[in-house]
Amino acid sequence: MTMARQVRMTVNGAACEGLAEPRTTLADFLRGELELTGTHVGCEHGVCGVCTVLLDGRAIRSCLMLAVQADGADVTTVEGLAEPDGKLHPIQEAFVEEHGLQCGYCTPGFLMAICELLESNPSPSDEEIKDVLGGQICRCTGYQSILRSVHSAAAKLGGGRSATGA
Ligand code: FES
Ligand code: FES
């Protein structure tokens, strides 16, 4: 017998609903029920950060939250960053220009975590950026290019400071 129940949330500005079992994670709901597969899944226990989305403006691990817990929430996934016409978000542009990705598997999680950072702190220092990047695992880039990407994104968004923090 299925225990699935209807879950409703706003995702990337649109009202969405779907069925979720009590054990279904928000990550699996987004990917499987809403077909928003830009949110990736890796460790599935809160370590790697690839499943990061914004929930009511805060970056959260969607593998650690149940879909039923997010009922009624406002969720932003990586699909919500670019404009409807395909124009990339400034953070995405910065990642492309500064080579902030290689295989790209980790990238949706980094983008969403950096969204939250730059929203609350438009001109972060190296240390403040590293504090956020430390919660996201990338096995390809070595992080320096991601650090440059964040500084570039901050400048594009009207904030920012040099990589030395000046
Ligand atoms: S899949 Fe969620 S933190 Fe790794
Ligand atoms: S770009 Fe490959 S894991 Fe980060």
The pLDDT value recorded for residue 160 is: 75
Q: Give the residue-averaged pLDDT of 119-132.
A: 97
CA dist., res. 46 & res. 28, Å (int): 14
Q: Which ligand is nearest to the CA of 141?
A: 2
Residue 47 CA, ligand 1 centroid: distance in Å: 5
Q: Give the residue-averaged pLDDT of 110-133.
A: 97
The pLDDT value recorded for residue 166 is: 42
Question: How many CB atoms are closer than 10 A to CB 117?
Answer: 21
| Residue at a domain's end among 42, 62, 80 | 80
Q: Which ligand is nearest to the CA of 30?
A: 1
Q: Give the residue-averaged pLDDT of 68-92.
A: 97
**Ligand 1 probe mutation, 25, 31, 51, 112, most atoms within 8 A of CB:** 51
pLDDT(164) > 70? no
Ligand 2 interacting residues, C-beta cut-off 6 A = 101-106, 138-141
What is this structure's pTM?
A: 0.95
Mean pLDDT of the chain: 95
Q: Is residue 85 part of a domain?
A: no
Q: Is residue 17 part of a domain?
A: yes
Any ligand 1 atom below 6 A from CB of 108: no
Domain count, the chain: 2
Angle, alpha carbons 145-164-113 (nearest 5°): 50
Q: Give the residue-averaged pLDDT of 27-31.
A: 98
Q: In this prediction, what percent of the chain has a pLDDT beyond 70?
A: 96
When pLDDT is cut at 50, 70 and 90, the band that residue 162 belongs to is: low
Domain with 14, as residue range(s), is: 5-80
Instruction: Give the CATH number for residue 105.
Output: 1.10.150.120
